[in-house]
């Protein structure tokens, strides 16, 4: 039982705390961002080192190290995005009369550099893990990437109760590309796909022939998929997931978010 409960608790706690930590760092005072960038860059470097160590070990702790290391790399990319350091070449609002094709093109240009950074990190982690054959770090990062891509397309298509207050004010122009007046078709496609993936992962966990190490890694990935489904549901249900990370959002950002919502 501990081989299941411990990984579930580990992933859930790390997902909650790391998301809050990145939000807290990105929402800090602008003049302090470069100091925070230095700290999170060192964390990212340790993440890559951890990926190398985990990929060459078959010890019981290696899936945990691989997961937290992949999350450290992911955290650097998320911080640089939320801090407005690595976003895209376009910084303007979405024109009110833009067609769907134009809105998609401009929306992509606002986050293009961020997307390319994610892809480069994905390839780099694959190269690290491919040499040893232990792919837990790559699977973790790839799953985070796929789930985030699904969330972005859902937001673009339509998510009526999206917690836009979690975005720093410096990225306010990106909110003009969100559709919050309906539930878009991408949401339903994402929910069905993620749910099928979740059921398939649970079915694999029920296989008695799976090794102990593989079981721990699969439990972690399954938990991550379950959390992704939960995040998608928060986008359309009458509840805000930002309450989970209220401690991570600065008072200044809360006031700006309230002022924006009131306009």
Give, for all 263 residues of the chain, the pLDDT tens digit.
677 899 999 999 999 999 999 989 888 777 788 899 999 999 999 999 999 999 988 888 999 999 999 999 999 999 999 999 999 999 999 999 999 999 999 999 999 999 999 999 999 999 999 888 789 999 999 999 999 999 999 999 999 988 777 888 889 999 999 998 899 999 999 999 999 999 999 998 887 677 777 889 999 999 999 999 999 999 988 877 777 777 777 654 544 444 444 44
- Are the CB atoms for 70 and 125 separated by under 8 Å? yes
Q: Return the number of other C-beta atoms located less than 10 Å from residue 40's C-beta.
A: 22
Does residue 239 sit in helix, strand or coil? coil
pTM for the predicted model, two decimal places? 0.90
Joined together, the tokens standing for residue 22 give 């990145």
Q: Give the list of residues 6+ apart from residue 234 with CB closer than 8 angstroms, or none.
A: 161, 163, 240, 241
Tokens in use for 238? 């009458």
Cα angle 245-251-254, degrees, rounded to a multiple of 5 = 70
Place of tokens 């399954």: 222
With CA atoms as reference, report the closest residue to 46 among 70, 78, 16, 80: 70
């Amino acid at each position: 039982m501990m081989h299941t409960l411990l990984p579930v608790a580990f992933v859930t706690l790390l997902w909650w705390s790391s998301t809050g930590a990145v939000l807290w760092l990105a929402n800090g005072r602008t003049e302090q961002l470069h100091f925070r960038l230095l700290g999170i860059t060192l964390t990212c470097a340790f993440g890559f080192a951890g990926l190398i160590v985990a990929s060459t070990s078959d010890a019981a702790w290696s899936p945990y190290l691989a997961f937290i290391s992949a999350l450290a790399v992911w955290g650097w990319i998320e911080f640089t995005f939320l801090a407005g350091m690595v976003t895209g070449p376009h910084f303007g609002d979405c024109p009110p009369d833009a067609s769907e094709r134009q809105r998609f093109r401009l929306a992509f240009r606002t986050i293009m550099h961020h997307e390319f950074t994610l892809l480069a990190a994905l390839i780099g982690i694959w190269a690290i893990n491919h040499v040893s054959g232990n792919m837990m770090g790559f699977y973790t990062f790839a799953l985070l990437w796929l789930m985030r891509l699904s969330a972005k397309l859902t937001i673009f298509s339509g998510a009526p109760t999206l917690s836009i207050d979690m975005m720093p004010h410096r990225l306010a122009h990106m909110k003009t590309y969100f559709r919050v007046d309906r539930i878009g078709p991408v949401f339903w496609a994402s929910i069905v796909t993620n749910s099928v993936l979740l059921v398939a992962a649970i079915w694999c966990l029920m296989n008695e022939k799976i090794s102990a190490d593989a079981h721990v890694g699969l439990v972690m990935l399954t938990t991550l998929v379950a959390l992704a489904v939960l995040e998608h549901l928060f986008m359309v249900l009458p509840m805000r997931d930002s309450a989970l990370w209220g401690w991570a959002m600065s008072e200044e950002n809360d006031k700006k978010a309230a002022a924006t919502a009131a306009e």
